[in-house]
Amino acid sequence: MKYIKAFFYFWYDFIVCDAWEVAASVLIALALLFVGGRLLRGGIAAARRLRTP
């Protein structure tokens, strides 16, 4: 278990502590893509329901 914690701590320290702006930008971009995909998928499904008799 200590090796797993050390592995994740290394990546956290490498990504967040060295370039936290880049890490925050990537997380924001992923969140926006997720929300946009959910909205788009819901919009397409709603449009299909309106079109079909």
CA separation (Å) from 5 to 16, 17, 48, 51? 16, 16, 48, 53
Res 5 pLDDT > 70 = yes
Structure tokens at 43: 């919009």
User: Which pLDDT score is estimated for 43?
Assistant: 67
- Confidence band, pLDDT 50/70/90 cuts, at residue 3: very high
CA separation (Å) from 49 to 19, 37, 41, 42, 45? 46, 18, 12, 11, 6
**Arithmetic mean of pLDDT over the chain:** 81
Res 42 pLDDT > 90 = no
User: Which pLDDT score is estimated for 49?
Assistant: 67
User: Which pLDDT score is estimated for 30?
Assistant: 93
